[in-house]
């Protein structure tokens, strides 16, 4: 690897580790070698990782993994790689992979920015999904939001031509910033009819969090951009 890693001082997440349940710890201990990606310095051969040539979809920040598991079950012809920094969610996802017998889902427990920069080959992803990232709603913390112009440029390097970036947030100000940052990058075209937001696609499951928010009258904004 020719590029050395600079110190990264501003992160989009805080490691709120939480306590692993015994079941989550057992899942990590037992299933990690089969379904998880170790830390490393070299590019990952995604076709080799999944044992086939299929569309590759990266989800950044999958939380407890429930919606990612649902997508992997519903889209067996696609391969999914989920990245999450919180180990309890990783353990829960590994348990679900085994429970549902999924062969098209793998997990990485690391910083998504570093994974993309150093381990994902350029033009290798068919879709990147970023659902409900931390909005860092205080103005002084906006610099911590993962969607920033520099990160959008990095995503453009990794997504195939005609591939997609799909984002969703329940924080309107963040949605507006996402829309602005993507619209100002010449590598992406907005897929929305009016160059703003799209209805939730059928492939993105409606979460319990969203259902509760809808009952309370909260909005959710989906954004879909195509790489060109």
Where are the chain's structural domains?
22-227
Tell me the pairing of strands 221-227 and 188-190: antiparallel
- Please report where in the chains the tokens 């310095």 appear, as a residue: 41
Per-residue pLDDT of the chain (228 residues; tens, 9 = 90+): 445 555 454 554 455 567 899 999 999 999 999 999 998 989 999 999 999 999 999 999 999 999 999 999 999 999 999 999 999 999 999 999 999 999 999 999 999 999 999 999 999 999 999 999 999 888 887 998 999 999 999 999 999 999 999 999 999 999 999 999 999 999 999 999 999 999 999 999 998 778 877 888 889 999 999 999
The pTM for the full model equals: 0.90
Catalytically annotated residues: 134
Q: Name the residue among 156, 134, 124 with its Cα closest to residue 58.
A: 124
Cβ atoms of 226 and 164 closer than 8 Å: yes
For residues 39 and 115, give the distance between their C-alpha atoms in angstroms, rounded to a whole number. 9
Q: In whole angstroms, give the CA distance from residue 82 to residue 37.
A: 10
By the 10 Å C-beta count (0-12 exposed, 13-18 middle, 19+ buried), 167 is classed as buried
Question: For tokens 């997609």, what's the residue?
Answer: 164
Tell me which CATH code domain 22-227 carries: 3.40.50.150
**Encoded tokens for 219:** 């909005």
């Amino acid at each position: 690897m020719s590029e050395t890693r600079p110190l990264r001082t501003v992160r989009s997440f805080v490691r709120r580790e939480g306590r692993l349940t015994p079941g989550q710890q057992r899942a990590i201990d037992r299933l990690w070698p089969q379904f998880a990606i170790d830390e490393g310095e070299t590019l990952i051969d995604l076709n080799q990782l999944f044992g086939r040539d299929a569309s590759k979809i990266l989800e950044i920040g999958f939380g407890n993994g429930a919606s990612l598991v649902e997508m992997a079950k519903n889209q067996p012809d696609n391969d999914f790689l989920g990245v999450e920094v919180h180990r309890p969610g990783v353990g829960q996802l590994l348990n679900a992979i085994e429970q549902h017998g999924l062969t098209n889902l793998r997990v990485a427990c690391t910083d998504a920015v570093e994974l993309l920069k150093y381990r994902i080959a350029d033009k290798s992803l068919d879709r990147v999904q970023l659902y409900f990232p931390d909005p860092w709603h205080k103005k002084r913390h906006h610099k911590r939001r993962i969607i920033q112009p520099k990160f959008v440029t990095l995503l453009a390097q990794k997504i195939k031509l005609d591939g997609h970036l799909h984002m969703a947030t329940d924080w309107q100000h963040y949605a507006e910033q996402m829309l602005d940052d993507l619209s100002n990058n010449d590598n992406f075209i907005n897929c929305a009819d009016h160059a703003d937001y799209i209805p939730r696609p059928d492939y993105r499951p409606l979460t319990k969090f969203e259902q509760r928010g809808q009952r309370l009258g909260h909005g959710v904004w989906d954004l879909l951009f195509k790489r060109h």
